[in-house]
Structure 1
Amino acid sequence: MGIKPFKENLRIAVAQAAPVIMDKEKTIDKIISLTEEAASKGAEMIIFPETFIPAYPRGFSYGFIVGSRTMEGREDWKRYYDNSIIVPGEDTKRLSKAAKDNHIYLTLGVTEKDEIDATLYCTFVFFGPDGEYLGKHRKLKPTGSERLIWGEGDGSTLTAIDTPYGVVGSLICWENYMPLARMAMYSKGVSIYLAPTADARPVWQSTIKHIALEGRCFVISCNQYVEKSMYPTDLNYYKELENQPEIMCRGGSAIVNPFGEYVTEPVWDKEELIIADLDLNQVVLSRLDFDPCGHYNRPDVFEFKIK
């Protein structure tokens, strides 16, 4: 892995969209449709947001308070569990076929259920243009109340994929605030850094620009656009959404080049399939004066390893 001869250009698609919330089958249908649309526009890679299957469960407590839980919350959680997927498994076969049929790298966030026990994980999955399942990354540290829903990943899924366009890797949402997690990606030679997120704050843009400059890589940030009306109203805790705004997630998906400049400006308040052409020569050009794991590193002073 690392810097080596690669194709000079990549057309990438960023799917700022909403899933069909709590319905994995219809959400996979939507993924396939958007993948076909991206391929028809010449895209060679597509990225979907964090936990696109079956949804990012924004606004829900699942009946958790310190010291007790409710059965109604457990029932909502089980519905979320039932619409999550095993990776790899039967549901990923449809995704693999979509990648192969459209000859495209398909990358997306899912809620993964463990094949053996009932633990869920916030996971990012990679498929190749030949339909091969290439690997997954489990979020190392769910943020805040997310820890009530998802378990923690470990170092075995700090996945980086070697492609003709360079090395592709991913950290999910606020993992990107973990300096050593970023260093893990840089040390793997990542030049296309996928940052699926649920963070629609304007300050998130500062984060992705910093990562692009620090890692001298392209950063592709992909978020959902979600309206309250998209949620199924028969959830036990639907009433918790009463005080939520109609637009619950504004999006803000964007692409930043290795010089910290926008390739595509953030897209707000709508669904959009963003298509962009990346000049991959910029990765090497940007590293003339800064390379975080090369000439701007001091391994004689600092030691870094992944367990």
Structure 2
Amino acid sequence: MSTVKVAVVQAGSIVMNKEKSVDKALQLIQEAGRENANIIVFPEVFIPAYPRGMSFGAIVGSRSDTGRNEFLRYAQNSITIPSPEIDLLGNAAKEIGAYVVMGIVEKDGGTLYCTTVYFGPDGSLLGKHRKLKPTGSERLIWGEGDGSTMPVINTPYGKIGSLICWENYMPLARAAMYEKGIQLYIAPTADARDTWFASMQHIALEGRCFVLSCNQYSTKDMYEEDLLENEDIKKMPHEITRGGSCIVSPLGEFIVEPVFGKEEILYAQLNLDDITRSHFDFDPVGHYNRKDIFQLIVNEKKQ
């Protein structure tokens, strides 16, 4: 198919509450389905949340019992694969006949991962991507993914794949996605700084692909009431994440400019022929790929 309708969901989690966050996700999937979206994209770790502002009681050389209890709560509200929550999300995708790309905190053994999961319009789990390198304090709570979870998935609407947040600053990770022929490049994030948007435009130009960048809009109202007593969270402003989701063309132009200050689903009808048009100027895996000079080796074995 030469065209696809995409939906980028800018919304906030119900922080540290798996059940309520799943329910909110299901409602948003239905809403996008009513608008006949073919591909629906959610932010980084939408379920059960990006725990912005929380220190988990850790300083260099010391952890606290309070922090361990916060991690316990985060783990208890994370998602295993398979699980009833995965089934619910898959059934929601099947009900509206769309692809759904969802950010979750995945629990595997005693480790949590920042993970993107892909659901097909038949409700099946098509694949997942675990964040390769958690950033800064994220390293306290999330493990590292490996090359076995870097899929680019064939769909009737083009090839879709994802790098999460600051993975998008890893040149060789991007190059690996380009080599796999990515056409709909999904960039869930927790970064709402002005500098992020230049990166999204650059990636679209570099990869000659559509870029769907998806961030949360969240306020303290979305935190569970007892979490508001957390000393770290008390210091935060009411608006915790300002949003900034956007959609960019293969020529680096905003199709939907960054949206701030509200929850909103961004919609766009994309023409995949625009990718081929952009290749007239530049093709990172075609006539601009000097394989006689440069080689990329990707270890896709499970570690």
Q: Match for 1:216: what amino acid?
A: R
Partners of 1:218 and 1:44 lie apart in 2 by 15
Report if the CA contact (8 A) 1:120-1:149 is conserved. yes
Deviation string for 1:88-145 (max 9, x for gaps)?
A: 322100001000011010111100000xx21000000000001111000000000000
Q: Does 1:136 align with 2:123?
A: no
Instruction: Spell out structure 1 runs of 4+ moving beyond 4 A.
Output: none
Tell whether 2:188 aligns with 1:196. yes
The aligned amino acid for 1:259 is L
Opposite residue 59 of structure 2, the aligned amino acid is I
Instruction: Decide which of 74, 90, 101 is 1:96's aligned counterpart.
Output: 90
| Residue aligning to 1:265 | 257
Counterpart Cα distance in 2 of 1:108 and 1:293: 28
Match of 1:67 among 50, 53, 61: 61
Letter in 1 for 2:202: H
Give the Cα–Cα distance (whole angstroms) in 1 for the partners of residues 80 and 271 of structure 2: 35
8 Å CA contact 1:76, 1:236 repeated in 2:
no
Task: Name the TM-score, length of structure 2 as normaliser.
Answer: 0.97
The equivalent of 1:3 in structure 2 is none
3-state SS, counterpart of residue 137 of structure 1: strand
Q: Which residue of 2 aligns with 1:4?
A: none
Check whether the contact 2:220–2:228 (CA below 8 A) recurs between aligned residues.
Answer: no
Are the equivalent residues in 2 in contact too, given 1:76–1:235 (CA < 8 A)? no
Q: How does 1:221-240 map to 2 (within 5 A)?
A: 221-235=213-227, 238-240=230-232
Q: Does residue 1:110 correspond to 2:104, yes or no?
A: yes
Partners of 1:203 and 1:17 lie apart in 2 by: 21
User: What is aligned with 1:184?
Assistant: 176
Q: How many angstroms does 1:243 deviate by?
A: 2.1
Deviations 1:138-161 (A, max 9, x none): 000000000001000000001110
Question: Under a length normalisation based on structure 1, what TM-score does the superposition of the two structures give?
Answer: 0.96
Instruction: Indicate the residue corresponding to 1:19 in structure 2.
Output: 13
Percent identity, aligned pairs only, is 57
Write out aligned runs for 1:116-155 (5 A): 117-155=109-147
> CA RMSD of the aligned region, Å?
1.0
- Alignment of 1:55 with 2:55, yes or no, is no
Where structure 1 has 5 or more consecutive residues not aligned to the other structure, the ranges are 1-6
Give per-residue Cα distances to partners, 1:49-73, cap 9 Å, x unaligned.
0000000000011011111100111
Change (3 A) 1:237 1:119: farther
Structure 2 distance, partners of 1:27, 1:285, is 40
The one-letter amino acid of 1:252's match is G
1:80 matches 2:57: no
The aligned length equals 299
1:172 aligns with 2:151: no
- How far apart are 1:20 and its partner, in Å? 1.3
